[in-house]
């Protein structure tokens, strides 16, 4: 042997190091010695030194200076050298270093060596880390060895071929002839690797796949023999003969049977046999069953077989072994769409898995549960899922909440139940609910007309104690703003109506406004709600006016802008206020996602409704006007320092649902006006709000930002106008 | 498909959503208007994707996190490998007894099992058969046991090159090459016999 005692001595020595620093020192000393030995080109100790280097590499120390030495070892005649050399190459070299190509010739020689174990080393190395260039150069040698009768080499050559194909797919064709009688082998190693090779080829090429379909009967026979044969000590694992080979064959059958009726039929019996006869007490049997199930589900199998497969998964779910349950859930998730009814039968077991301690199992159980909700089981399922939402880890809450909303929307047995479910989610996981759920919920609530009183009461009660969960507070604020009148008049039928005064309602909304916990968006909701109540409440309008005017000097630009505009509503446009703040109509669910007549720009140009004259050069003008009706008198939006901007409005002749806004900007000064920038802020309206704007148009509403207000605006006008419009009309 | 589409209709407001049902995922990206800006459909597993299954890497490490063996079947920079090892060791050492042997990690799955003081960890592709991988790990342990006779961690420390040789007789390129315990061990033992004795080694010319 190559002086093992010295080698062991090194390891032993290094292990005595008590600190990282001590170890590093030893290693550095050793490395220095090794380096000088390498420099001396010492053939005798090279092997031992590389071995030491590999050990140090495993500890995490750099060993790249040994790369060339590995190549020298590979080129050596001594088997001991080759063994370590090839190991070193696999550990220290890869295709990113140019030096690896120097191996090619050595490998080529060794592939033709007289000793099979040397050939084996070469095949193994090539098959593990061969680069594309190496594979190209040596593919021919591999192909030759694929045809040898030496099973030790043949099996390695097969896997080497797999690697070559993965690296250089164009070379796949050249291995085709050699595959001719691969499956005739008795040797399990060759059989296994051959099946792997065939699998690889079939995956990559539909032509290969078609070509190899004829192997199905032979594969079925081999599998049958494995199952039926008696005890074979060499390949036995807990009473099962060569489970590795069985699984690979099942996998290949899967690929061959997909989308092919004849092949699927030919394998039907063997699949049923494996499914029913495989011993399930140990993991190995279940591994085979698992693969069988995957195959059955993927080919064109009879329905009876499919049910059998799902039942196997159902039994897996009841297994004490966590791993088996995990695998069952993963598979059921894949099959739930295609075999929904069969999976439904295992619903209660799946729901039980929600209580599992393993996070991956819980997640899969949750996804599967959502997939299984239908009109019949929605009440029971939602109960379980709401409980899960309550007790699950934070990483699940957002997805679970979204899932519950979706399921509730689709299957709610009653409006009351729907509202209650939403409430439950908002109060249980209020801070995890996704932001995009809020507008959706608002739409839902709006459309549940008969539940308005009940909803606003429940939401009011929910935030009374705790207004920290933003999505909940946003929805609640919006509702209170809309239906506050129902709240104070105690109109709730579904439950005992509470007594609450207008002032109390305003108290809670103001608390939200003031609170540190409230996000800016939430504050916006609250302020708008307060404003809306000015037309719904009777006794507290002055209070509302006061609040609104206070926020006119808020440092939050959003709030400031809204407040200022609401102020303007109170003052100059009071006659419009009731109509503007009217109850939102029921919104149709958008069936298409296309834009309505309202221009939506998203920053890109789209067919614009807005028609503008080319603006003259002039001052930078920031102004905007939003108008949605006919018969609007023209407006002078801006008239200062010689720049006058007028808006005129007309129905389009060709399309009466379109309003054409024309802007005329004129310069009455002697001088030219340069850098005139016209920015039109156009509201981006969600489809469900577009329905509302139809209503607006019909009732001739418009709102214009006064010149006083404009002057106060910053560049945020563009974005904030959108908010304003939407918030106002909310 | 119909049902899936309905279940996950875009929600008003700008944003994106990806809904997965098992191995099928639908994604939408939409703008403020609700107009769909882009959508994608991805689908893996038994519906059309490559069946290419292979082990990506194998790690052996102690309960203190010391690496005892690393076999990589993919090309990665050394720095990256170190980072991955650190990450995975940390993940696995923090798992408790009550969890399964499988960990979702990036787009791979880690299958691990502890034998005495050593953790054996295999990274497989997401669609691979996890239960069989447990058998692969077990088989490797059995081979080590057969070769060393009642193998323990120290055997693997002091004879790490043998641990690699044995692995290389069992797996090539991330795929199992030999399913017979006897054959695999015999190949190693025969190879050991081929190794030169000290005398032979000294006397034989290298080139």
Q: How many CB atoms lie within 10 A of CB A285?
A: 19
Q: At a CB cut-off of 8 Å and minimum separation 6, what does A229 contact?
A: A241
Determine, for residues A371 and B21 on separate chains, whether the beta-carbon distance falls below 8 Å.
yes
Which domains, ranges and CATH numbers included, belong to chain B? 2-51 (no CATH), 55-190 (3.30.450.60)
Spell out which residues of chain A touch residue B8, defining contact as CB-CB under 8 Å. Answer: 406
Q: How far apart are CA A674 and CA A619, in angstroms?
A: 6
DSSP letter for each residue of A159-196: HHHHHHHHH-GGGGGGGTGGGTTGGG---HHHHHHHHH
- The 10s digit of each residue's pLDDT in B110-164 is 999 999 999 999 999 988 899 999 999 999 999 999 999 999 999 999 999 999 9
| Least Cα separation, residue A392 to chain B (angstroms) | 16
Spell out which residues of chain A touch residue B160, defining contact as CB-CB under 8 Å. Answer: 54-55, 58
| A-B contacts (CB, under 8 Å) | 267
Determine, for residues B201 and A2 on separate chains, whether the beta-carbon distance falls below 8 Å.
yes
Determine, for residues A199 and B51 on separate chains, whether the beta-carbon distance falls below 8 Å.
yes
Pair of tokens at residue A543: 């209070």
Q: How far apart are CA B19 and CA B23, in angstroms?
A: 10
| Least Cα separation, residue B182 to chain A (angstroms) | 6
Pair of tokens at residue B169: 């007789």
Spell out which residues of chain A touch residue B4, defining contact as CB-CB under 8 Å. Answer: 337
Please classify residue B115 by burial: count the beta carbons closer than 10 Å to its beta carbon, then call 0-12 exposed, 13-18 middle and 19+ buried: middle
Q: How far apart are CA A482 and CA A194, in angstroms?
A: 71
Spell out which residues of chain B touch residue A3, defining contact as CB-CB under 8 Å. Answer: 198
Residue A456 and residue A475 in contact, taking contact as beta carbons nearer than 8 Å = no
B205 → chain A, closest CA residue: A77
User: What pLDDT does A680 receive?
Assistant: 64
Determine, for residues B102 and A326 on separate chains, whether the beta-carbon distance falls below 8 Å.
yes
Phi, psi (degrees; rounded to nearest 5) at A239: 85, 0
By Cβ distance, the residue of A235, A290, A298 closest to B129 is A290
Phi, psi (degrees; rounded to nearest 5) at A453: -65, -45
Q: Is A65 on the interface with B (CB under 8 A)?
A: no
User: What pLDDT does B52 receive?
Assistant: 59
Phi, psi (degrees; rounded to nearest 5) at B48: 100, -20
User: What pLDDT does A599 receive?
Assistant: 31
Comparing CA positions, the residue from A381, A446, A430 lying closest to residue A407 is A381
Determine how β-strand B175-176 pairs with β-strand A659-667. Answer: unpaired
The span from the first CA to the last CA of chain B, in angstroms, equals 67
Find tokens 């209650």 and name the residue: A420
Alpha carbon separation from A361 to A69, A323, B87, B101, B103 (Å, rounded):
49, 9, 22, 11, 10
Comparing CA positions, the residue from A562, A439, A529 lying closest to residue B32 is A439
Spell out which residues of chain A touch residue B131, defining contact as CB-CB under 8 Å. Answer: 283, 286-287, 290, 323-324, 327
Residue A646 β-bridge partners: A636, A664
Residue A165, CB-side half-sphere exposure with 13 Å CA sphere: 23
Residue B40 β-bridge partners: B27
Determine, for residues B187 and A117 on separate chains, whether the beta-carbon distance falls below 8 Å.
yes
Q: Is A341 on the interface with B (CB under 8 A)?
A: no
Q: Is A443 on the interface with B (CB under 8 A)?
A: yes
By Cβ distance, the residue of B3, B100, B158 closest to A323 is B100
Q: Tell me which of B43, B47, B51, B91 to substitute to probe the interface with A (most A C-beta atoms closer than 10 Å).
A: B51
Q: At a CB cut-off of 8 Å and minimum separation 6, what does B32 contact?
A: A600, A602, A684, A686, B13, B14
Determine, for residues A77 and B207 on separate chains, whether the beta-carbon distance falls below 8 Å.
yes
Spell out which residues of chain B touch residue A357, defining contact as CB-CB under 8 Å. Answer: 98-99
Determine, for residues B175 and A162 on separate chains, whether the beta-carbon distance falls below 8 Å.
yes
Spell out which residues of chain B touch residue A326, defining contact as CB-CB under 8 Å. Answer: 100, 102, 130
By Cβ distance, the residue of B13, B139, B187 closest to A436 is B13
Q: Tell me which of B128, B206, B207 to substitute to probe the interface with A (most A C-beta atoms closer than 10 Å).
A: B206
Q: How far apart are CA A254 and CA A246, in angstroms?
A: 12
Instruction: Give alpha helix (H) positions in A551-602.
Output: 557-571, 577-580
Comparing CA positions, the residue from A412, A374, A370, A373 lying closest to residue A389 is A370
Comparing CA positions, the residue from A501, A569, A507 lying closest to residue A535 is A569
Q: At a CB cut-off of 8 Å and minimum separation 6, what does B69 contact?
A: A58, B58, B59, B60, B156, B160, B163, B164, B167
Pair of tokens at residue B180: 């017979």
Q: How far apart are CA A382 and CA A421, in angstroms?
A: 8
Q: At a CB cut-off of 8 Å and minimum separation 6, what does A384 contact?
A: A351, A354, A369
Please classify residue A585 by burial: count the beta carbons closer than 10 Å to its beta carbon, then call 0-12 exposed, 13-18 middle and 19+ buried: middle
Question: What number is the ipTM of this complex?
Answer: 0.79
Phi, psi (degrees; rounded to nearest 5) at A639: -150, 90
- The DSSP H or E segment spanning A114 is none
Instruction: Give alpha helix (H) positions in A278-321.
Output: 283-298, 303-318
| Least Cα separation, residue A636 to chain B (angstroms) | 30
Q: How many residues does chain A have?
A: 730
Instruction: Give alpha helix (H) positions in A466-581.
Output: 470-488, 502-514, 520-533, 541-550, 557-571, 577-580
A332 CA to centre of own chain: 19
By Cβ distance, the residue of B161, B176, B183 closest to A51 is B161
Residue B20 predicted with pLDDT over 70: no
Determine how β-strand B36-43 pairs with β-strand B55-62. Answer: unpaired
Q: How far apart are CA A217 and CA A396, in angstroms?
A: 47
Q: How many CB atoms lie within 10 A of CB A526?
A: 29
Instruction: Give alpha helix (H) positions in A577-716.
Output: 577-580, 687-698, 707-711
Q: At a CB cut-off of 8 Å and minimum separation 6, what does B123 contact?
A: B55, B56, B57, B58, B88, B105, B108, B109, B110, B111
- Give 10-residue mean pLDDT values along chain A (730 residues): 63 89 93 93 90 93 93 94 96 86 93 97 96 95 96 97 95 95 94 97 94 96 92 90 96 95 95 93 95 94 91 92 93 87 91 89 93 93 95 91 92 90 89 84 87 91 89 93 91 85 93 92 92 92 92 88 88 83 72 33 33 31 29 76 82 68 83 73 48 39 32 37 41
By Cβ distance, the residue of A159, A237, A325 closest to B175 is A159
Q: How far apart are CA A257 and CA A210, in angstroms?
A: 10
Determine, for residues A590 and B7 on separate chains, whether the beta-carbon distance falls below 8 Å.
no
By Cβ distance, the residue of B3, B99, B172 closest to A358 is B99
Q: B-contacting residues of A 187-246, CB under 8 Å?
A: 188-189, 192-193, 196, 199-200, 203-204, 234-235, 237, 242-245
Spell out which residues of chain A touch residue B187, defining contact as CB-CB under 8 Å. Answer: 117, 120, 152
Find tokens 């260039």 and name the residue: A133
User: What pLDDT does B169 receive?
Assistant: 97
- What angle in degrees, to the nearest 10, is found between the helix axes of A116-129 and A151-167? 20
What dihedral do alpha carbons A357, A359, A364, A369 form, nearest 10°? 50
Q: How many CB atoms lie within 10 A of CB A330?
A: 24
Q: How far apart are CA B196 and CA B207, in angstroms?
A: 15
Alpha carbon separation from B109 to A133, A245, B126, B130, B172 (Å, rounded):
30, 22, 6, 8, 19
Residue A339 and residue A310 in contact, taking contact as beta carbons nearer than 8 Å = yes
Spell out which residues of chain A touch residue B103, defining contact as CB-CB under 8 Å. Answer: 360
Spell out which residues of chain A touch residue B81, defining contact as CB-CB under 8 Å. Answer: none
Which of these ranges, A227-241, A629-643, B95-109, B168-182, has the smallest mean pLDDT? A629-643
Determine, for residues B132 and A11 on separate chains, whether the beta-carbon distance falls below 8 Å.
no
Q: How far apart are CA B26 and CA B39, in angstroms?
A: 7
Residue A329 and residue A365 in contact, taking contact as beta carbons nearer than 8 Å = yes
Pair of tokens at residue A597: 């007549």
Q: Is A357 on the interface with B (CB under 8 A)?
A: yes
Q: How far apart are CA A255 and CA B107, in angstroms?
A: 22
Spell out which residues of chain A touch residue B23, defining contact as CB-CB under 8 Å. Answer: 333-334
One-letter-per-residue 3-state SS of A115-163: CHHHHHHHHHHHHHHCCHHHHHHHHHHHHHHHCCCCHHHHHHHHHHHHH
Q: How far apart are CA B181 and CA A663, in angstroms?
A: 87
| Least Cα separation, residue A528 to chain B (angstroms) | 19
A683 CA to centre of own chain: 31
Residue A395 and residue A360 in contact, taking contact as beta carbons nearer than 8 Å = no
| Least Cα separation, residue B77 to chain A (angstroms) | 8
User: What pLDDT does A465 receive?
Assistant: 83
| Least Cα separation, residue B39 to chain A (angstroms) | 13
Q: How many CB atoms lie within 10 A of CB A95?
A: 16
Residue bearing the bigger pLDDT, B104 or A635: B104
Q: Is A720 on the interface with B (CB under 8 A)?
A: no
């Amino acid at each position: 042997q190559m002086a093992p005692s010295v080698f062991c001595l090194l390891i032993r020595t290094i292990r005595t190091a008590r600190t990282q620093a001590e170890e590093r020192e030893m290693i550095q000393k050793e490395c220095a010695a090794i380096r000088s030995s390498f420099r001396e080109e010492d053939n005798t100790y090279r092997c031992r030194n590389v071995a030491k280097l590999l050990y140090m590499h495993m500890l995490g120390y750099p060993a790249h200076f040994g790369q060339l030495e590995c190549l020298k070892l590979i080129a050596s005649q001594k088997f001991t050298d080759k063994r370590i050399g090839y190991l070193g190459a696999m550990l220290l070299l890869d295709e990113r270093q140019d030096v690896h190509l120097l191996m090619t010739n050595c490998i080529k020689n060794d592939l033709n060596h007289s000793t099979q174990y040397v050939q084996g080393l070469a095949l193994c190395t090539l098959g593990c880390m061969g680069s594309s260039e190496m594979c190209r150069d040596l593919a021919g040698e591999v192909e030759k060895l694929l045809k040898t009768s030496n099973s030790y080499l043949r099996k390695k050559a097969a896997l080497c071929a797999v690697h070559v194909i993965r690296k250089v797919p164009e070379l796949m064709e050249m291995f085709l002839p050699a595959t001719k009688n691969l499956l005739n082998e008795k040797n399990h190693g060759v059989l296994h690797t051959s099946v792997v090779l065939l699998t690889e080829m079939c995956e990559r090429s539909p032509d290969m796949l078609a070509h190899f379909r004829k192997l199905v009967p032979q594969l079925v026979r081999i599998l049958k023999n494995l199952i039926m044969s008696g005890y074979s000590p060499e390949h036995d694992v807990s009473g099962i003969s060569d489970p590795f080979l069985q699984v690979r064959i099942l996998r290949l059958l899967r690929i061959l049977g997909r989308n092919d009726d004849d092949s699927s039929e030919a394998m039907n019996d063997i699949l049923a046999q494996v499914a029913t006869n495989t011993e399930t007490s140990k993991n190995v049997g279940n591994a085979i069953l698992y693969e069988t199930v995957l195959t059955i589900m993927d080919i064109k199998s009879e329905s009876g077989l499919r049910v059998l497969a799902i039942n196997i998964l159902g039994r897996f779910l009841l297994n004490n072994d966590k791993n088996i349950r995990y695998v069952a859930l993963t598979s059921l998730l894949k099959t739930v769409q295609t075999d929904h009814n069969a999976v439904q039968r295992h619903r209660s077991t799946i729901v039980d898995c929600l209580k599992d301690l393993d996070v991956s199992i819980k997640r899969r159980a949750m996804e599967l549960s959502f997939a299984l909700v239908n009109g019949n089981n929605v009440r029971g399922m939602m109960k379980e899922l709401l409980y899960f939402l309550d007790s699950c880890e934070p990483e699940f809450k957002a997805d679970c909440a979204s899932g519950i909303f979706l399921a509730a929307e689709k299957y709610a047995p009653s409006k009351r139940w729907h509202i209650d479910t939403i409430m439950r989610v908002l109060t249980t996981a209020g801070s995890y609910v996704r932001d995009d759920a809020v507008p959706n919920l608002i739409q839902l609530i709006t459309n549940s007309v008969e539940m308005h009183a009940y909803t606003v009461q429940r939401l009011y009660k929910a935030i009374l104690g705790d207004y920290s969960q933003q999505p909940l507070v946003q929805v609640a604020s919006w509702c209170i703003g809309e239906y506050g009148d129902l709240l104070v008049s105690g109109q709730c039928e579904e439950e005992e109506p509470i007594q609450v005064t207008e002032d109390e309602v305003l108290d809670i909304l103001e608390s939200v406004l003031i609170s540190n916990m409230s996000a800016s968006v939430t504050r916006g909701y609250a302020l708008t709600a307060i404003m809306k109540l000015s037309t719904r409440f009777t006794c507290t309008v002055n209070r509302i006016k006061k609040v609104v005017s206070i926020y006119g000097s808020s440092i939050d630009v959003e709030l400031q802008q809204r407040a200022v505009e609401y102020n303007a509503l109170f003052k100059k446009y009071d006659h419009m206020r009731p109509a503007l703040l009217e109850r939102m109509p029921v919104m149709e669910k958008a069936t298409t996602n296309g834009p309505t007549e309202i221009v939506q720009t998203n920053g890109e140009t789209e067919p614009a409704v807005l028609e503008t004259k080319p603006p003259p050069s002039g001052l930078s003008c920031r102004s905007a006007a939003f108008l949605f009706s006919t018969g609007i008198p023209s407006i002078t939006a801006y008239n200062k320092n010689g720049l006058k901007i007028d808006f005129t409005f007309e129905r389009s002749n060709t399309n009466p649902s379109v309003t054409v806004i024309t802007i005329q900007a004129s310069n009455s000064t002697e001088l030219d006006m340069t850098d005139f920038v016209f920015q039109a802020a156009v509201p981006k309206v969600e489809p469900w709000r577009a329905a509302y704007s139809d209503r607006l148009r019909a009732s001739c509403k418009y709102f214009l930002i006064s010149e006083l207000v404009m002057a106060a605006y910053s560049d945020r006008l563009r974005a904030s106008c959108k908010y304003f419009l939407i918030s106002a009309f909310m | 498909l119909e049902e899936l589409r309905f279940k996950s209709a875009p929600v008003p407001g700008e944003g994106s959503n990806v809904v997965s049902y098992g191995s099928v995922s639908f994604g939408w990206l939409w703008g403020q208007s609700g107009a769909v800006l882009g959508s994608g459909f991805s689908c893996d597993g038994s519906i059309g994707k490559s069946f290419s299954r292979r082990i990506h890497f194998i790690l052996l490490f102690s309960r203190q996190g010391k690496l005892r063996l690393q076999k990589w079947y993919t090309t990665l920079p050394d720095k990256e490998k170190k980072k991955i090892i650190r990450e995975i060791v940390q993940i696995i050492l923090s798992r408790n007894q009550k969890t399964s042997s499988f960990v979702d990690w990036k787009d791979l799955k880690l299958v691990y099992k502890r034998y005495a003081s050593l953790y054996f960890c295999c990274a497989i592709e997401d669609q691979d058969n996890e239960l069989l991988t447990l058998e692969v790990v077990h088989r490797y342990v059995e081979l080590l046991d057969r070769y060393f006779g009642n193998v323990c961690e120290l055997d693997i420390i002091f004879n790490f090159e043998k641990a690699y040789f044995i692995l290389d007789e069992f797996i090539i390129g991330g795929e199992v090459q030999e399913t017979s315990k006897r054959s695999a061990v015999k190949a190693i033992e025969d190879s050991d016999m081929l190794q030169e004795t000290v005398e032979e080694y000294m006397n034989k010319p290298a080139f």
